[in-house]
């Protein structure tokens, strides 16, 4: 398993298994399958409502805790300092863990300064091995870094052939923050699995389009967390380290970038209002 070294020295797997949008009644089975295949990083969030099922699969796997890398996320509703501490304890109880490998602020809205300082405290106490953010644009991430003590180790942002985040990737590399991709397949939008250029590259390597996309991200030093409920697809997604895309192929994929998301517009005011006010508990 290829790993990346975070800016605090912690080693993070370069590929993990995401559980976004996997129903509670399917999560334990899906995570169990992923662990059997060889995944050692599992990515969940309080807003996914399946932390308990992830924890059940982890506990029942028989895999040593130190071999696993578990990520969860703090939702915007709990960004006040004391709320963040309480939400962390709730997530840990649901997961059934003594420590967490990576804790992320889920969106760049609300009082994320206060939330970050609570997360810094948990990190200093040794409750979390690495801390970071999700979906933070470069300017907000830089501002937060300049006015807080601990630099984030990870920024998990939407990244795929349609929305490649080239500027953000360069910024994160300069700052020593690990780029992690959510929605590496653009959630299937834009008919990405039938793109003729990706098809041609996949045929050349006798790999699927999904494998080509994940390998392209891997060669950009981007960590990936593909999601699927099908065990055969999990195995396929995991099998990306036995081929290499050429510089020409990397360049061809680079030209597919539109610079815009097919999933949601982070600058759309109704979207910002919805995310900022969305409650996941009473």
* Residue 221 forms part of a structural domain: yes
Task: Say which residues have a Cβ less than 8 Å from residue 149's Cβ, sequence separation at least 6.
Answer: 120
What's the rounded mean pLDDT across residues 13-40?
98
What's the rounded mean pLDDT across residues 28-49?
98
Instruction: Indicate the pairing of strand 69-74 with strand 41-43.
Output: parallel
pLDDT for 82-128, tens place per residue?
999 999 999 999 999 999 999 999 999 999 999 999 999 999 999 99
* Residue 282 forms part of a structural domain: no
- Please give the pLDDT value at position 1: 77
pLDDT for 170-215, tens place per residue?
999 999 999 999 999 999 999 999 999 999 999 999 999 999 999 9
Read out DSSP for 215-241? HHHHHTT-EE----S-HHHHHHHH--S
What's the rounded mean pLDDT across residues 150-164?
98
Q: Is 79 a catalytic residue?
A: no
Rounded Cα distance between 27 and 21, Å, is 9
Q: If phi over 0 gives left and psi between -120 and 50 gives alpha, with beta otherwise, what is residue 110?
A: left
pLDDT for 214-259, tens place per residue?
999 999 999 999 999 999 999 999 999 999 999 999 999 999 999 9
Instruction: Indicate the pairing of strand 17-18 with strand 128-134.
Output: unpaired
* Residue 202 forms part of a structural domain: yes
Q: Specify the CATH number for the domain of residue 242.
A: 3.20.20.100
* Residue 217 forms part of a structural domain: yes
* Residue 270 forms part of a structural domain: yes
* Residue 127 forms part of a structural domain: yes
Domain of residue 86: give its range. 3-277
Rounded Cα distance between 213 and 112, Å, is 32
Give the rounded percent of residues in the chain with a pLDDT score beyond 70: 100
Task: Give the chain's domain count.
Answer: 1
Catalytic residue of the set 20, 39, 48, 81:
48
* Residue 171 forms part of a structural domain: yes
Q: Count the neighbouring beta carbons within 10 Å of the beta carbon of residue 244.
A: 11
């Amino acid at each position: 398993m290829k790993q990346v070294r975070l800016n605090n020295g912690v080693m993070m797997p370069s590929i993990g298994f995401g559980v976004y949008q996997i129903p509670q009644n399917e999560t334990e089975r899906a995570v169990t399958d992923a662990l059997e295949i060889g995944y050692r990083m599992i990515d969940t969030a309080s807003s996914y409502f399946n932390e308990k099922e992830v924890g059940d699969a982890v506990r029942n796997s028989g895999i040593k805790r130190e071999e696993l890398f578990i990520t969860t996320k703090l939702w915007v509703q709990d960004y006040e300092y004391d709320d963040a501490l309480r939400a962390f304890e709730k997530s840990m109880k649901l997961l059934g863990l003594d420590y967490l490998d990576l804790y992320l602020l889920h969106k760049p809205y609300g009082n994320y300064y206060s939330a970050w300082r609570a997360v810094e405290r948990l990190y200093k106490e040794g409750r979390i091995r690495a801390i970071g953010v999700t979906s933070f644009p470069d300017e907000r991430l830089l501002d937060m870094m300049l006015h807080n003590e601990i630099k984030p180790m990870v920024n998990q942002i939407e990244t795929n052939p349609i929305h490649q985040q080239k500027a953000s990737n360069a910024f994160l590399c300069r700052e020593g923050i690990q780029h992690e991709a959510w929605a590496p397949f653009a959630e299937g939008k834009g008919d990405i699995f039938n793109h003729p250029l990706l098809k041609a590259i996949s045929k050349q390597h006798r790999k699927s389009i999904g494998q080509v996309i994940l390998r392209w991200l891997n060669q950009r030093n981007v960590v990936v967390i593909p999601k699927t409920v099908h065990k055969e697809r999990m195995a396929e997604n995991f099998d990306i380290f036995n081929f290499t895309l050429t510089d020409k192929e990397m360049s061809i994929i680079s030209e597919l970038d539109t610079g815009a998301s097919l999933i949601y517009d982070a600058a759309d005011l109704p979207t910002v209002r919805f995310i900022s006010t969305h409650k996941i508990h009473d």
